[in-house]
Structure 1
Amino acid sequence: EDETQKVRLVNVFERLEILINEFAKIEQLLSKSYSLNYQDYHFSLILEQVKDMSMLDNWDELISTDIECDAVINVDFGLFALAIKNLIDNALKYSSDKKVRIICDENKVSVANRGAALAKSFEHYKQAFIRNKDEKATGMGLGLYIIDKICELHKFRFEYNYSDGTHYFSIVFSPKGAI
């Protein structure tokens, strides 16, 4: 009867449905039974989907965008959006200031966040179920692994750089030097 409670319940079930669909995609991806549907999409359209998937009420407060070029990328829309969402989720979870910056140009998309340097190599964190035992953040340690696998399927490179207290996780969709 209470309208506020009704809205909350609807939101909870919508979120659960999104999570179940994400886990189904992940399971298909890991079992290699997922057939990719490649099409050309502007990055801005993919980002709108990510925004919907994230269900963050305060997206604009937490996430800033610097789209130098609204790149057209040949991707499986759902999987690539899931990769970007996982990058943003990780960046928010581990950011020291709870802010994330998304940067896109014609060659790559990067998700940047402030924080302490990684304790181990980037390759270490791209393995499945990897988390630091003493960290407070929750999760299964699959985020970077899933992103890496989605990049492999798309023949993209997943790169990491740390500079001046900022992490840059990048998905490179054009070869180095390509325009």
Structure 2
Amino acid sequence: MDLGTPLREMTIWPHRSLQRRGFFVVPAIFAGAALVASAMMFFAPGALRSGGLPILATAPFFLLVLGGIVFALRRNDRDRARQYERLAIYKDRLRLDRMDARGRLSRWEAPLGMVRLTTREEPVRGLLLILRAGEAETGVGDFLSPAERPALAEELRDLLAEGRRRAAWRS
């Protein structure tokens, strides 16, 4: 259903701490450590008599681990780049569009006047932000760190209050 242009909108993305340069630094650090370990094995007593066999025997494993590190970093970056939550407030509705790491879009919608933001503290996951409208509810910002969620809760409260003021003004 097309609701027109939103009165207010907010998009939340997960924090991406590893910058582009990190994709080269982390594997380079591992490769340097593997080179040092290989050199230590090469200069170990009796290594020259074996013809460097210990180095050749371990090289495929170092390369396999290095490839795994690069693959995991790239996959994590791609998944994080895809993920977001977009909260839009219309004249009488609130819509939350959520794109997960696999590229699947889900939507939660409720009448603006019924939506309330509640919080719940959990021992392991920290502060949880929950949008409620009657019996329906959904979490917001679950991919954020526990330290980022209190600030998001304040922004969401402000967004809902301003959205309600604008909707009342336009009526």
TM-score greater than 0.5 by the shorter chain: no
Determine which structure has more spread, i.e. the larger CA radius of gyration. 2
